[in-house]
Amino acid sequence: MSRSFLAAILLAPAAALADASPVTIAADRILGVYGQEEYGENDWNGDDHSDLAVLAVSEAGDSVDLYLATSDPGTGLRAVTEVIRAILPYDPVSVASGGLEYNVSPAHEGYKPEVHISSSATLARTSIITNPRVEGSGIVRIASSRRVPGTNRAEVICEIVFVEYGVEGFEPWAKVIAPDGTELSYNPGPGPLLSDWNYTDLPAPCLP
């Protein structure tokens, strides 16, 4: 895919892309699909047609990309409207050994697409709840957890919340616990645009 075509995908609204060439991907790169939901949970643009989120291994094979496709209000047909590069790192060795799993699924908060990487062996998990928007998608919440040493339970060591639905005047907040136990709380400011963001922007304790 050329840079100019990708730029067009990133900038143009869904309706304008309805006649564009389809965005294709090798089937073996697809890690997760959040498609049709029975009660319209994945209607992010509010037009009564379902939208789509797809998680896939990047072309270079070292990170994970998120594709967001939104529906045309008139026809219901979907078009890829955003491609978010490197939303998570990718480790093929750990995946092949069964140590890591990736997926995209409805988040508890507002059924937005939640991408996550998790390990059943170590109980480590990082999730990023996205906020699909016509004007450019953002992030609702990021959370990472790790196994509590010597136990079989996990604890949250990083939480960054940019949006809290239904809370007027909500102030973004973040709490990060360093490996030495030092706790840092701060206001992370307004949520970033996903097109300007990748997983390396995370504070170190939040990295998967």
84 lies in the site for other proteins, by CB under 8 A: no
User: What's the CA gap between 125 and 133, in Å, rounded?
Assistant: 26
CB neighbour burial string for 41-78, b if at least 16 within 10 angstroms, e if fewer: bbbbbebebbbbbbbbbbeeeebbbbbbbbbbeeeeeb
- Structural contact between residues 88 and 73, judged by C-beta atoms closer than 8 angstroms: no
2 lies in the site for other proteins, by CB under 8 A: no
The smaller minimum CB distance to other proteins, of residues 8 and 178, is found at 8
Q: Which of residues 145-184 bind other proteins (CB under 8 A)?
A: none
Which one of 97-105, 131-139, 159-167, 173-181 is the stretch in contact with other proteins (CB under 8 A)?
97-105
Burial tier of 92 (Cβ tally within 10 Å: 0-12, 13-18, 19+) = exposed
Contact characters 3-42, other proteins, x per CB under 8 A: ------------------xxxxxxxx-xxxx-xxxx-x--
Segment near other proteins (CB under 8 A), from 47-55, 141-149, 173-181, 193-201? Answer: 47-55
Would the CA dihedral through 140, 199, 151, 155 be positive or negative?
negative
Q: Are strands 183-186 and 101-106 parallel, antiparallel or unpaired?
A: unpaired
- The minimum distance between CB 42 and other proteins, in angstroms, equals 10
Q: Is 60 in the site for other proteins (CB under 8 A)?
A: no
Between β-strands 63-71 and 78-89, what pairing exists: parallel, antiparallel or unpaired? antiparallel
Among 91, 101, 109, 159, binds other proteins (CB under 8 A): 101
Give min distance, CB of 166 to other proteins, in A: 24
Told to check if 113 binds other proteins by CB under 8 A, we report: no
**Nearest-angstrom CA–CA distance, 151 and 95:** 24
Q: How far is the CB of 38 from other proteins (least distance, A)?
A: 4
Complex with other proteins: residue 26 or 167, whichever CB lies closer? 26
Q: Which CB sits closer to other proteins, 52 or 84? A: 52
Beta-sheet pairing, 101-106 with 113-118: antiparallel
> Which parts of this chain interact with other proteins (CB under 8 A)?
21-28, 30-33, 35-38, 40, 43, 48-50, 52, 54, 67, 69, 75-80, 92, 96-98, 101, 103
